[in-house]
Amino acid sequence: MAAVGAHAFVTGHAVYGRAGMELHLAGVNAAAFGVAAVSAAVFLHCHYFWGNVYDQVWFAVLGKIVAAAGVVGGLGTLIVRVGVLGTTG
């Protein structure tokens, strides 16, 4: 998940969906998708790895809060730009 997000952020192009139902994202939309994907990967890592190893140590909780903000920001940007405004590029 993190590799897909990083690739989308760096290249500025992402494809979301299955064969025949793809949504091609470019530019700001691809960057927002990349931020959301990387943030989701960080959230899962902080929750399932650091949270279990050190039993909810403070940096695991802080990492989850920051990552959740990244997911909300990235998906919010993507939903507004693609869902409301109808731009994919």
Phi first, then psi, for residue 57 (nearest 5°) are -65, 160
pTM of the model: 0.88
39 located within any domain: yes
The predicted structure's pLDDT at residue 57: 81
Give CA 10 to chain center in angstroms.
Answer: 13
For residue range 3-54, what is the model confidence (pLDDT) as tens digits?
Answer: 999 999 999 999 888 888 988 999 999 999 999 999 999 999 998 888 777 6
Domain interval for residue 76: 2-14+23-84
Tally of domains within the chain: 1
| Cα–Cα distance, 32 to 9 (Å, whole number) | 8
The predicted structure's pLDDT at residue 18: 86
Residue 1 has pLDDT above 80, yes or no: yes
89 located within any domain: no
Residues contacting 53, CB < 8 A, separation 6+: none
